[in-house]
Amino acid sequence: MAIHYVCSYCKKRMKSPDRFAGSRVVCPACDTELIVPEKTAQASEKKVKWDPSERQSTVETGDYESEAEAVRRELDETES
């Protein structure tokens, strides 16, 4: 069986053989050092389906074009 876990930094899903429980590994996606978690009876029995709708976005949204125009106007006013 394998231990399934997620990188705490980049959230990449990974798995390692049971014998690596407690060992240090490096995430192949972001080079963060991790410790493979111990496998628990509860975790091995629990099957969770990943739902992409629950993923939280870390991207800021905003009207950047309007902000750029405002900065341009401000610069034009100070140059005049």
Q: How far apart are CA 33 and CA 30, in angstroms?
A: 9
Q: Is the dihedral of CA 13, 14, 18, 22 positive or negative?
A: negative
Which residues, other chains included, contact 23 with Cβ-Cβ below 8 Å and sequence gap of 6+?
16, 35, 36
Whether pLDDT at 10 is above 90: yes
| Confidence grade of residue 69 (pLDDT, cut at 50, 70, 90) | confident
pLDDT at res. 36: 93
33 belongs to a structural domain: yes
Q: How many residues are given for the chain?
A: 80
Decide: 29 and 62 in contact? Cβ < 8 Å. Answer: no
pLDDT at res. 71: 77
What's the domain range around 27? 1-46
CA 60 from chain centre, in angstroms, equals 15
Tally of structural domains, the chain: 1
16 belongs to a structural domain: yes
pLDDT in tens, 14-57: 999 999 999 999 999 999 999 999 887 545 455 666 666 666 55
pTM, 2 dp: 0.48
